[in-house]
Structures are given as C-alpha cells and as structure tokens.
Structure 1
C-alpha cells in the first residue's frame, strides 16, 4: 500500500460511525429529567411565539425553500453582495448626540480619525419639528441630538468632512425637505458634486406618528413632499436615499423582533403605494428606502431576523414588479436602547457587544453601537472609543468578515430564519387585511400588539425570568454612580440664538423673502427650498414656508416607549433617596436559624433579592432558638425580618418566631425565605407577611416592602 493509502486507512470518516437515533437521545434526556416534562424544561418559548428546541437536526431544515440561495442573488437572505464583508465591511455609523455644531464637529473629527467612517446625524426635537433654536423651548434645544438651524450650522458641524467620500445618514423624518435643502446648499457652496454624495436624508412620518402620536401636517402633504424628494434625488443625488423606515418606536415599546420587522415592512409598503400613486415606479422607490432596526440581546433570534428581513423585503418588492436590483434591502442596525440600564452601566458594554455581533453576523449594511453611558450623559471620549473599537474588534479580530454569511448552513439558524420570516409575514398580512399601516395605527392594532408583548416582558422581568444584570439580578450596591451631566439649557439656547441672530443679519432680506415666497406658492418644493437655503433662510423659515398649504396632521395613540429595567431602577432610586434623607440604607434583619449549612443558601439568596431594591441585610451567625433570633431582630431596629432556614425545620421554627416578633412589634414585616407550599397558610396565620423565593414577583414584593418600611 502507498503512504497515501495507509494514511486514508488510518483516518476515520463520519460514515464509519452510525448515527444515534433521536429516540435514543430522548430516552437519555428523559432519564436525566427524572419525570419533569421535556416540553417545559427544554423547549424555550419566545415572545415571537416560536418554540426553540434544545437541539436541531438535518430534518429541521428539510424542504426550506431558501437553502439553495447564494449571497448576492435574490432573494438576498444570505446578503446583497456576493462577497459580503470580505470586500467591504459595514459602515461604522456611530451616533454623536452632541448639542451644538461646535461640540458635534469636535467629536466627529476625533472619531473619524479613529475608526468611524460615516456621519450619523441625530437631531434634537426642535430641529426635527422645523423650529429654529431661538424659537424653541430652552429645555429642548440640543436635548438628545444636534441643534441645526442654518446652512452655517451644518457647515460648522461637518467642517473637515469630505461629503463626496464620506457617507452621511441624517435621521430627519418630518424635516427631510428642510434638511435636504440645507445639505444641498452646503454641497453647492463648497463646490462639491451632489451626484457623489452618498447616504440618506430619510423621511419616516409613520414611525414618527407611532412614536409621538401626532404629525405636524397631513399625510397627503407629507407624501407629496416625499415624492418630490425622491424624484429630485433620482435626478440630482442618485446615491442619497430619501425614505427611512425605523423599527425603533416599536422596539422601544417592548415589541418582539417579528412585530418590529412586520410593522417596518408594512410601513415601507405604505410608502411604496403612496409614491406609486404620485407617479413613481417601484424601481425608483425601493432603492430609495433605508430600513433601520433595533437589535436586542436574543443573539440567534436577531441574526435570523436580519436574514429574514432581506428575504421578505425581496418578496415584497418582487410582488410590486421590482427588478432584482431593486429587491436589495438597505439595512442599518442600532444596538438596543430598550435593554440599556442606568445602574451598573458598564454592563451595557457587554449587551451592546452581543447585539453588535449578531448585527454583523446577520449582515447589516451600517451599524451604531451604543456607548455604555448614553443614558446618563453625552457619551465622553472614552465611552465613544470603546463603542468604536467594538466595531474594530469584530472586523479585525473575530474574522467574521472573512466569511460570507457566517451563520448560513446552521440547522438552528436556518430553521429559525424560516420561523421568524413566517411569523413576521403573518403579522404583515394581518395589517394588509386592515387596509395598511395607516389604518392599522388609527385603529390601534399595532399599539395593542406591542403593549401585549410589553406586558408579558414586564411580568417576566418582575419575576426575574428575564434578567438585567446589575438591575434585577446581581446588583452592586457599592458601585460608583455616573452622575447625569448638568446642563445649562438657558445658556445653550442663548449661544444658539446669538449664532442665529448673526446668521440672519448676514442674509440679503429681499432675496431671502423672494425665495421663501416661491417656496410657499407650491410647485417644486425641493429646488425652491434649496434656493431659500442658499439665500440665507433658516431651517424654521424654510419649514414654515413649505407648510404654507399644510392641513392638520393625524393623531393616534402613541407607542409607549420605555426601558425594560425602569421599574427596578425606580426601586434603587427610592432607596438612594432614603439614604439621602436618613443617612443609611434601609435594613432588613436575617433571622438565620441553625448552623451555617442550614441557613446560608437562603440567607445569601435573600440578601441578593433585597439588594435589588437597594436594601441592606443584617446578616448574623445562626441562632439556636426562635427566642434568641427574635430578641436579636427586635434589638436591631430593623423594620423587616427574613427567617432563613430549611423547609424541614420551618414547621418547628416559624410559628413561635413569627408570633413573638408580631406580638412585640405588630408593625414589623416578617418574611420567609422559601415557599413551603404545604405550610404557607399556617405560616401566614402565625404572622408571616410574604415569601422570598425563586418564583416570587420580585418587583412587586420589593415595592410593597419599600412602602411599608417608609422607603418609597
């Protein structure tokens, strides 16, 4: 035999090992479960109503229609480019929520030289509403985003940025016309080519409506502007997208991944129909749409969702008669704001890392990774650097950019992609039956779907089935808090007003008014708005003139935005306010009964449970008798006592201990660590007020305890 034949003979192949039948595996698993139901212990039920199996097999992907698709080919489930990130990675499109143009530019120039390669403009509320800074409420100027009121402001914010080579994404929503005018005017003033500008100045009125509950003008007028912007961009700025579809309002309301995706797709379809009604073709419209989705911590679910999003979008565009090129989805991802926490904020680093990883594996085109401190302050240089470097580590050190569709072929991911797609499609079809997204929002259907899911999430968070490290589990009462930044809003507005006053004074009043009159008279609003900007009109003046013919906008019930950890953060805040008033943390005495091995497990659990509410425990060595424990508890001055021992010892220990405590101090709160079901009623009769255990509603119990202790 040759050396090669000998080597081949010595190397086992998979065919030599007989496969283990699934039934044999189940028998072994059932033995380990010791009678516990397989479906309850090993099948995970998700908010998407998808049952996740503990193991996936080849049979689970049999017959899936998308398995033979390739990257760069319709329906683009595996990516819109044949080589994925191998030739071009995602855009590092970090949001910089700086308040003023000067602050924004300083942060942008620093970050663009250290890894960021796209501008991602988040605007403050007055700018989004088309209100100049000196006309807005002082407390809103620069809050949560950049204040821009003129071409000069925009020039200052983007100083040093080559708009012909750097993509720019502007979350403009209802101010898309005015912001396009400012951007186009700036490009013209710089002698640059609009044809080379790449990015998006996206309108997204329905997402704004879902978030705020109202729009400043009628949808018919908004769609008219959207059509004009889209037509203008196709002719003058072909690499600029004009329509954005944001799933963030639904995500931030507590929606499931399939709900966010379905509502985003339904919104996009609403825009397609509105644009078609105004003479645009599907091949003109679809490439102008940019989706922006929030990505949460359910790692594989999010990968599957992004892959399914491309598949469903291609299916929709194809149904409208769009070409294969038009079927490609443009997809921005943002790590979740809903998942972020105020307490133990450095954990946000870890959350954002997993979310960013799933975004990249899922194949996003651009990505924002939230700095860990964005809830508390304008992110500083350190937190921005860590967020940027997370992009770099994913690109340069994890090597996921060297593989096209790295999750592709996984039986789990492929099956989950199909399940997510089917669930999202069913929701999408339900909205279609209702007449589209506008009618569904007016009827309150998406709001109810999100609210129902948010209620389920809240119940699981309260019982700590869903965990927020540092908030409802593993709190750190000794953490050094990052204090929210103090902002002098009046001084900020005064600074912005002074800049605006100087800008207005420099304009030729006659030319500016003539341009604004032309804009208010209708016709081609885009070119008229650009000419007004070039003539020195401010954002507010352009917006006012453009809305001269506007009718009253719609009003609906908005999606209630919140964060998952807020209820537990409120408990901690109440405890900290108590410390400020009293000088020490609220305290609970642990009546630890018997030797260490008898009480330690439950005493430790009770200590961690109470710490979630900012409550300290007095943790003595074990007591030998109920009388001894009661005397020590009463002497401690604590307003609550937790009895800690084992279920077998409780019938003997609890009644005399609880009765003595209640007799001596009727207002004392007596808790029991554990939930001995056969004795619950008897222990309540003896004086036990509540039980601390794994299945307890932690948020409700601690809220009640704080009120009774005078903390809240």
Structure 2
C-alpha cells in the first residue's frame, strides 16, 4: 500500500481562518447574521471545526454488541407491541411478529391476572426480548413472570426485557395516584430481578414530556429531575444507585429534529453519568439502557402516509443516538386510526431495513468525530443540566409538578411550537403545506380535548380540527360544497408564482381548494372569473395602478397574496385582506370560514 500522504500539499486551515474568510465574503454584513437560534435557544453556527470541538468526551460511544462474536458489532432490539386482549390471540400475534423480523415483544396489558403459560406458548424468552407495558402498575405480574422463567429452568442470565410502567408518568397523566408503597414495591421488584441482570423492572420515561410538547432541553431536564426523584426514594429504601441503574429502562420518544434527537440521547447518557458520580456510584455507560419510541407529537392525521417518512427519520436518529431497544409505532396508529397488519409490518421493517440494508449495525458509532453533533451534545447537555440543577435547588420534581411549574414549562413550549406551525415557520407536509385536499378525515377529530396539560397530542391537532370543519360539510353535502378559490397571476414572473404557491398552502390549511389559475398581463374588469370560486386571490410582483378601482368593482371575497402598505384603505374599498407570513393564520382562516358560512363545530 502506498505511504503517500495525499493531503500534505494542502495548507491546514484553522477555525479563525474559516471565520475570517466568511467575514471577507460577507463584506459589510456582520458574521452574527449567519447564526440562528433553535426553539431551545441553542445557536446554530455557519460552520464547525475541530479547533472548537473541545467536548468530544461527551459523545459517549454507542454500546458494542458483546453477546456473540458472529453478530455485527452494533445491536438494538427491534420491538413489536402486542395488546393482550386474550392470551391465545396475543400469543399468535407475538409469534407472527417474531417470525416477521421482531427481536422483542412488548405485551401491553391492562390487568395482572395473565395466564403466562398460554401467552408465552412456543415463545423462547432466552432468544428474544420479552417486555410488558401497562398504564398502571401490576408488580405481581412481573414477579410472576420472573418466577415463570425460574420454574421452566431457563437461564436467568439469558433473559432480557423490561417493564414499561413509569408510575410518576402515570400519575402525571392523571391515571393513578402514587404513594410510598409504590416505591417499596419497585424496590422489592428490583431485588427480585437481581438474578436477571438483563431484565429492567424500573421504567423512567420522558415520553409524556415530549408528546405533550416540551422542547428538547426541557424534556431532557425534566427526565433528569424525575430520575433523581426515583433515585432518592429508592436509595432511601437501601438500594445502591448502581443496582438501580442496572435495573432501569430509560424510555425516550424521538422526534423529527434529526441531529438534535441524536444529540439528546447522547447528552442524556452524559448527564446520567454525572448524576451517578454525585451519588458516588461508578457506572459504566453500557449499564444505561435506553428504549426509544417514535414520536406521537410529530405525526399527523392529514396525508397520514407521510408519517412513514417521519418514522424512518426518527428511528434512524434513535439508532445513531445509541438506543438499545426501538419500537416504531405504525404510522396510521400514530394518526389516531385503527392500525392494520400491513402497517404493523411496515413499522417492524423500518428497523430491519436500517440493519439489513442501511447497515447501521455494522458501524458502532457513525457520529464520532462529527464536530456539529458533538457541539450540539454539549449545548443540550449543558442547557438541560442548568435547568435540572435550578429545579433541584428549588425542590424535587414532585414539588414542581404539584405547584404547576412542570405544566407551565410544557404549555409554553407547546404554545410556541403551535404558533410556529400556524405561521409556517415549521412545515409539516399535508398539514400546513402541500395539502391533500379532499382526503377523507375520520370523525374522531370532532372529539374535544380533555384539557389536561400533560397529554400526548399531535402538534397538528388544531389544524386537523379546522380541516374537519370543511371535510364534514363536504361529506354531508357533496364535493360541490367545498369552498374554492381562483388565483389570478399578473404575469409569469417568479414573485407572482411564489405568491401563488403560498396561497395554495395558506388556504389549503382550511381545506379550501383551488379551482383554477388565470394568467393575465393587466388587472382588468373583464378578467374571466370562475363562478364556482367564492374567493379570488391576486398575485403580482408590482402593485397595479388600478388596484383600488378593481377592488371596488369586484364582487365576492378578494384576497391579495403578499403585503400592501395601505391594506386598511384597500379594505375600506372592499378588499377582504392580505395573506402573508405575518398574518395570524388561525384567526384569519377561522373568520374566513365563518364568513363562508362554515361555523365552528
């Protein structure tokens, strides 16, 4: 092999060299203009360089597969969920999933009285991960399962899985109340599971924080605060922290901001190790077990097949972030529909494709050496740790939950995210851009929200409700009842076309269709108008001289795509309004639908 160093002839460039070159090319514009801020307040810089990557030790390497030398170096369990309505039916569904590529089954239960002999018939727990999930604690069932393993002579060191029931999250969701007896039961279960080193009986989850709308740093900080609540309660019951961590599954929902979600998982491990150090516990990063779920928050009931792409993006972020276990929710179920076997199969194959075709199991950690990701890990870790320590100085997680701080933080984040969605600063295909006008929307969207602050809900829920108003009318009276708009472009220039595209997406949020586009050189009274269109939208690059005159003679609702400095005067002449990014989209469309005779549901 040649020893030639191909890059020796090139001068090395420092971070300062890059910055100076950028400033030079910007001319009189300040360098700071290139720095943007995320909703979490994290700065996104125009470039990253190894000179500024001082925190690479934060990028904890993903766990290496050590079970079998013949297997790839990176391993995560591809999970399938099976709802236990009947033990026999659930058993058949589990076997189908295992034969279809699942490496683990999460049995979703609603009672402790389960016949494990029937449920686990022909399933070999030593060769797959068996877990349980419930919305309220059933500790006796988990003890029964461990006794079942022992009674059948199965090697306890070959058993893996977890119990997915975070009692604090169940309390926060308004399902149960908790007391000291619950923590005593958990402590007893952890002691029972000591002989089963790869079974995790304690779950600490951030799913509700994420799916209720918390941003990434708040989600991470709240998870740390809740973890310390568990640690304090359980160490008071004479458990060692190392013992607790080895018995814990950290359940994390992964959203759509790809690199930030990778960094979130890495930062979580780093901060958990810092907490362990504060408890004088020497913990190996590989002892931290992270189970990831695809997000409910990021999905939409509108053009719901796009959810498959979102699921794939989120699953890949979870894998690159170092998850040990992954469940991809079927993309129709995430949209609030009754899932089908086809979509269950598709969800299961997302993880399989990431392994078998994308080969993400062949490389332990592709994120190592990425200056951008390592900088983001540092930013998220630092910010989450600061929020967490401020929480701890003022009381425990339980204290902040009871006095409303947790609700206020999440409500504020969720409100900002919703504002960005309506303002189209955050784009979601099918909801606020590139809508599928005329798609059938299920009646479940007509249900009212419970009003609870901590409640899993899709970000697009309010847009879905607006769309349902129109689609319900169309369903009752036929497609001819759909409100339509005609677009008139004064020229074929890029500005007019861009405004036309904006009008499509803006009106599409409310399910208003576009009947036609008319191109003309001048704004004249004899422009052919579509008699089926209740709305006319003008799109132009330069304001026509006779605009006010045309508005005065126009019959029907007339909109201008863009901004007009004298909009108030034009409205007096008969203009309905201007549509642009500065408009309060929700309020404008609510008023427009009302004026079209489509009332609130």
Report the equivalent of 1:428. Answer: 388
Report the equivalent of 2:18. Answer: 22
Report the equivalent of 2:482. Answer: 586
Contact kept? 1:94, 1:119, Cα under 8 Å: yes
Report the equivalent of 2:563. Answer: 675
| Residues 284/121 of structure 1: CA separation in 2 closer, same or farther (3 Å cut) | same
Structure 2: distance between partners of 1:59 and 1:192: 53
Report the equivalent of 2:448. Answer: none
Contact kept? 1:585, 1:614, Cα under 8 Å: no
Report the equivalent of 1:565. Answer: 460
State the 1:36 CA deviation.
Answer: 6.5
State the 1:465 CA deviation.
Answer: 0.6
Report the equivalent of 1:627. Answer: 525
Report the equivalent of 1:59. Answer: 51
| Residues 38/616 of structure 1: CA separation in 2 closer, same or farther (3 Å cut) | farther
Report the equivalent of 2:62. Answer: 79
State the 1:181 CA deviation.
Answer: 4.1
Structure 2: distance between partners of 1:641 and 1:577: 23
Report the equivalent of 1:282. Answer: 241
Moved more, 417-426 or 85-94: 85-94
State the 1:53 CA deviation.
Answer: 1.0
1:391 alignment partner, SS class: helix
| Residues 357/65 of structure 1: CA separation in 2 closer, same or farther (3 Å cut) | closer
Contact kept? 2:306, 2:429, Cα under 8 Å: yes
State the 1:120 CA deviation.
Answer: 1.3
Contact kept? 2:91, 2:119, Cα under 8 Å: yes
State the 1:107 CA deviation.
Answer: 2.4
State how many pairs are aligned.
585
Structure 2: distance between partners of 1:202 and 1:18: 51
State the 1:98 CA deviation.
Answer: 6.4
Of 141, 159, 162, the residue aligned with 1:200 is: 162
Structure 2: distance between partners of 1:47 and 1:12: 42
- Counterparts of 1:492-641 in structure 2, within 5 Å, are 558-583=453-478, 584-590=480-486, 592=488, 594-597=490-493, 599-622=496-519, 624-629=522-527, 633=529, 636=531, 638-641=533-536
| Residues 186/484 of structure 1: CA separation in 2 closer, same or farther (3 Å cut) | farther
- TM-score (normalised: structure 1): 0.76
What are the superposed Cα offsets for residues 459-496 of structure 1, whole Å, 9 maximum, x if unpaired?
100101111111111111255768989xxxxxxxxxxx
1:206 alignment partner, SS class: helix
User: 1 or 2 for the larger relative contact order (CA 8 Å, sep ≥6)?
Assistant: 1
Structure 1: distance between partners of 2:438 and 2:376: 41
Moved more, 410-419 or 397-406: 397-406
1:13 alignment partner, SS class: coil
Structure 2: distance between partners of 1:326 and 1:280: 20
Matched, 1:115 2:101: yes
Report the equivalent of 1:349. Answer: 308
1:627 alignment partner, SS class: coil
More helix by share: 1
Structure 2: distance between partners of 1:298 and 1:345: 19
Matched, 1:211 2:106: no
Moved over 6 A (4+): 82-85, 480-485
Structure 2: distance between partners of 1:364 and 1:593: 51
Structure 2: distance between partners of 1:577 and 1:52: 43
Contact kept? 1:356, 1:369, Cα under 8 Å: yes
Contact kept? 1:200, 1:241, Cα under 8 Å: yes
Structure 2: distance between partners of 1:36 and 1:106: 65
Structure 1: distance between partners of 2:239 and 2:358: 43
Contact kept? 2:252, 2:292, Cα under 8 Å: yes
Structure 2: distance between partners of 1:430 and 1:150: 43
Unaligned runs of 5+ in 2: 446-450
Q: Which has the larger radius of gyration?
A: 1
Of 391, 411, 419, the residue aligned with 1:451 is: 411
| Residues 558/463 of structure 1: CA separation in 2 closer, same or farther (3 Å cut) | closer
Moved more, 168-177 or 218-227: 168-177
| Residues 655/588 of structure 1: CA separation in 2 closer, same or farther (3 Å cut) | farther
State the 1:188 CA deviation.
Answer: 6.0
| Residues 104/657 of structure 1: CA separation in 2 closer, same or farther (3 Å cut) | farther
Structure 2: distance between partners of 1:188 and 1:450: 44
State the 1:704 CA deviation.
Answer: 2.2
Unaligned runs of 5+ in 1: 70-76, 128-147, 486-555
State the 1:360 CA deviation.
Answer: 0.7
Structure 2: distance between partners of 1:187 and 1:193: 8
Contact kept? 1:314, 1:328, Cα under 8 Å: no
State the 1:379 CA deviation.
Answer: 2.8
State the 1:187 CA deviation.
Answer: 4.0
Contact kept? 1:292, 1:334, Cα under 8 Å: yes
What are the superposed Cα offsets for residues 188-212 of structure 1, whole Å, 9 maximum, x if unpaired?
6656565653212244221112222
Structure 2: distance between partners of 1:457 and 1:174: 30
Structure 1: distance between partners of 2:340 and 2:540: 48
Of 140, 150, 155, the residue aligned with 2:113 is: 150
Report the equivalent of 1:499. Answer: none
Contact kept? 2:485, 2:512, Cα under 8 Å: no
State the 1:319 CA deviation.
Answer: 1.5
- TM-score (normalised: structure 2): 0.89
Contact kept? 1:294, 1:334, Cα under 8 Å: yes
Report the equivalent of 1:390. Answer: 350
Structure 1: distance between partners of 2:368 and 2:66: 14
Structure 2: distance between partners of 1:37 and 1:688: 40
State the 1:334 CA deviation.
Answer: 0.8
Structure 1: distance between partners of 2:153 and 2:444: 42
